[in-house]
Structure 1
Amino acid sequence: MISRHDVAAVRASSRASSLLQGVRRLAAAAVLALGFAGVAQAAIDAYTFKDDAERARYTELTRELRCPKCQNQDIADSNAPIAADLRKEIYRMLGEGQSNQQIIDFMVDRYGEFVRYKPELNAHTWLLWFGPAGLLLVGAVLIGVIVVRRRRSDREDADMLSDEERQRLAHLLDKNRE
């Protein structure tokens, strides 16, 4: 027969299970809400262009220039306030009829070569362009030197056997062949 204590325990267990399930649902809802909060705040620029060529120039320029705050995002993808200002500035300059090079030069004068994803090759950027290849070359030469030294060391170690050790080694090798 089922006692009152058993019924009370089942009811308490059921309430705890319901409470735990409610907490899980609340946590899942909070995670979803936080996940969508970033999407809801994403900046959307609504610019009107006189033709598709101007829209393509705008897209090309915003993809070519780096956000000064984000550092590894172009200004087209960045939600930083400075990126929004730069997009507005590009739109304004396109509206004034300035060329892509004039716009890029303006941005470089204002923010430095860093603002470009592909900086020009000049005296200030040669290390940026050739540094990785130079480091790779130095690493390959270093590995080559280490390999050559180890091979020489191994040969010298093999030549350091005395006559007695060589005879013993020959005897052991002959013994293993039998």
Structure 2
Amino acid sequence: MSDQTKRSIMNVELPSWIAEWKAPEPHAGHEERMKAVIDLVRLNIRHRTGGPFASIIVNDDTGAVAGVGLNLVTSLNLSILHAEMVAIMMAEEAAGTWDLGATGRYTIYASAEPCAMCMGAIPWSGLRTLVIGARDEDIRAIGFDEGVKADNWIDGYAQRNIHVIRDVCRTESAAALKEYAASGGHIYNG
């Protein structure tokens, strides 16, 4: 095994421009938090540091942001660095556990409906609520392939005690997707 294959690739850092972003207040509601997520999407587009997706994880007890995620696939050349995956990694690292549910109740806010990969990670991470902006069809409309997802995925989440809230700021989130496509952003798996 070469030194290249032995070295760690999991030291993921958010872009320095993250300091420009204003996190939602702890008492914020779903809409205000989603607007903050969409602000992350637009910053990611403006700085050309990844795809048009962002996510935050909020501790339901304190209202504090426990993890921030951006789509960093194209800037870091790692296909797994979707916004939800990055937010989960950041929140789990901060909590010191792979099971966020063991430390409290957490909600993940995703600017758009998760792809097949991220849909699998959400239940395994211990998250209990998923709040979504844009829908799958909004993402596919600009050319992204979201993978094979069960038609009844929301029922599957409900069976795992995960509550799904859709269409929070959907129009704004779908508009950000279109802005990315219009800016010539790379549709990397379409």
Per the TM superposition, whether the score is higher than 0.5 is no
Larger Rg: 1
Normalized per residue, the structure richer in helix is: 1
Task: Name the structure with the higher strand share.
Answer: 2
Which TM bucket (shorter chain)? under 0.3
